[in-house]
């Protein structure tokens, strides 16, 4: 039977604005455990601890294609999992009694352009195997789409929820295809698949993974290590961005939302802020007065950035599941620098 009633609010879910998710998960066993693929990546590294705080360490299964480092919390159950192997996926979902899957494993935009065949295989075969496991074992699925799902023909300012999507990167193509595949599984099999079109996501807790928006994380490390950073994007390149606590909260809130309210369930635009490298540098300079930014443009990443939106219309997410961001640019910069102490003040 399809799952339409996955609602953490019915379990006593309390979302604390800005940073924390606290859940009374006494009924989690009735729904099964939570599996996170790509758990060692930038988003997974933040999502897993949040889910553990909500549900307890025994109810969250972290997985990735590589062994965890010493920094990983080894009290959390872990599976070495290649999502492109259908048998492995089915085995973990069945053996671990999985009820919800956050499928984060993917090859990102810049790396994908270097390895397009690998990006297609990992991103599409992995999602197809996750959705098939969800169909067979009655799981809910979260799938992160991206602003990369848009393309040069998309309106770049206030990009609508429903608009032309003709991306010109393999990463973007896999995201559009993934959105459609999730739609198909929901319409054809009743699979409870939900997703967000994430903007660039910034985090202090894990290194970025090969995306075009990585500069917005790297710039902070430059600021605290030597008060200097060389940007590979032009100073006026505006892109939508989101701080990791907001991104994690958006994922959890979407999965907690009443299914009857969701119209655009598999690909919600979500927005928090947008800025350029020069604007971000100016915001950092308010806290690190000696900070200097210069520019050495990477034509490949610049071309990708110029095919993406400058800002998003996220009114559908606000209307259908009450989305509201907690961090603006200054709040994000202040918190990032507070967690990355200056080594060369």
Residues 160 and 257 in one domain: yes
| pLDDT, average across residues 54-65 | 95
316 inside domain: no
Residues 115 and 226 in one domain: no
Residues 71 and 216 in one domain: no
Beta bridge pairs of residue 196: 144, 268
319 inside domain: no
pLDDT tier for residue 23 given thresholds of 50, 70 and 90: very low
pLDDT tier for residue 31 given thresholds of 50, 70 and 90: confident
Distance from C-alpha of 177 to C-alpha of 165, rounded to nearest angstrom: 10
Report the pLDDT value the prediction gives residue 24, as an integer from 0 to 100: 36
Q: What's the chain's average pLDDT? A: 89
pLDDT tier for residue 8 given thresholds of 50, 70 and 90: very low
Residue 134 reports pLDDT greater than 90: yes
156 inside domain: yes
Residue 22 reports pLDDT greater than 50: no
**Beta strand extents in the chain (DSSP E only):** 13-16, 20-23, 33-37, 60-64, 78-80, 98-103, 140-146, 192-198, 200-202, 228-231, 239-243, 268-269, 273-275, 292-295
2 inside domain: no
Residues 96 and 70 in one domain: yes
Report the pLDDT value the prediction gives residue 100, as an integer from 0 to 100: 97
Two tokens, residue 126: 């992995």
What is the percent of the chain with per-residue pLDDT over 70, rounded to a whole number? Answer: 89
Report the pLDDT value the prediction gives residue 343, as an integer from 0 to 100: 58
Q: What is the pTM of this model?
A: 0.88
How many independent structural domains does the chain possess? 2
Residue 212 reports pLDDT greater than 60: yes
pLDDT tens string 197-206: 999 999 998 7
Residues 211 and 174 in one domain: no
Residues 123 and 231 in one domain: no
Q: What is the DSSP letter of 159?
A: B
What is the percent of the chain with per-residue pLDDT over 90, rounded to a whole number? Answer: 83
315 inside domain: no
Report the pLDDT value the prediction gives residue 208, as an integer from 0 to 100: 67
| pLDDT, average across residues 2-27 | 33
| pLDDT, average across residues 119-137 | 98
pLDDT tens string 263-274: 998 899 999 999
Residues 248 and 280 in one domain: no
159 inside domain: yes
Domain that holds residue 197: 8-201+242-269
Residue 6 reports pLDDT greater than 70: no
Report the pLDDT value the prediction gives residue 133, as an integer from 0 to 100: 98
Residues 286 and 220 in one domain: yes
Residues 127 and 220 in one domain: no
Question: Which of the residues are catalytic?
Answer: 171
How far is CA 122 from each of CA 79, 86, 104, 249, rounded to the nearest angstrom?
18, 12, 11, 26
Residue 317 reports pLDDT greater than 60: yes
Residue 256 half-sphere exposure, CB side, CA atoms within 13 Å? 24
CATH of the domain at 208: 3.90.25
pLDDT tens string 215-255: 999 999 999 999 999 999 999 999 999 999 999 999 999 99
Residue 126 reports pLDDT greater than 90: yes
């Amino acid at each position: 039977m399809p799952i339409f009633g996955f609602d953490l609010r019915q379990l006593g879910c309390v979302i604390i604005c800005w940073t924390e998710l606290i859940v009374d998960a006494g009924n989690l066993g009735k729904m099964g455990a939570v599996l996170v693929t790509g758990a060692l990546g930038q988003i997974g590294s933040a999502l897993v601890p949040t889910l553990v705080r909500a549900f307890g360490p025994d109810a969250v299964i972290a997985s990735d294609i590589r062994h965890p480092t010493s920094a990983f919390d080894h009290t959390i159950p872990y599976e070495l999992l290649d999502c492109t192997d259908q048998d492995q996926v089915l085995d973990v979902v069945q053996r671990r009694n999985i009820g919800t899957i956050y499928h984060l494993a993917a090859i990102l935009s810049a790396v994908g352009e270097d390895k397009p065949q690998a990006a297609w295989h990992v991103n599409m075969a992995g999602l197809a195997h996750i959705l098939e496991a969800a169909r067979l074992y009655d799981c809910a699925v979260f799938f992160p789409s991206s602003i990369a799902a848009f393309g040069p023909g998309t309106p770049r300012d206030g990009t609508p929820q429903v608009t032309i999507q003709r991306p010109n990167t393999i990463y973007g193509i896999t995201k559009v295809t993934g959105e459609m595949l999730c739609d198909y599984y929901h319409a054809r099999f009743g699979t409870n698949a939900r997703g967000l079109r994430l903007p660039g996501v910034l985090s202090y807790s894990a290194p970025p993974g090969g995306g075009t928006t990585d500069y917005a994380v790297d710039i902070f490390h430059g600021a605290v290590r030597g008060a200097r950073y060389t940007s590979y994007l032009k100073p006026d390149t505006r892109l939508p961005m989101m701080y990791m606590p907001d991104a994690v909260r958006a994922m959890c809130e979407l999965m907690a939302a009443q299914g009857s309210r969701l119209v655009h369930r598999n690909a919600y635009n979500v927005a928090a802020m947008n800025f350029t490298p020069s604007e971000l540098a100016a915001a950092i300079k308010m806290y690190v007065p000696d900070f200097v930014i210069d520019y050495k443009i990477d034509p490949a990443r610049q071309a990708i950035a110029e095919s993406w939106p400058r800002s998003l219309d996220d009114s559908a997410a606000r209307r259908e599941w009450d989305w509201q961001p907690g961090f603006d640019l200054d709040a994000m910069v202040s918190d990032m620098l507070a967690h990355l102490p200056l080594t060369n003040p």
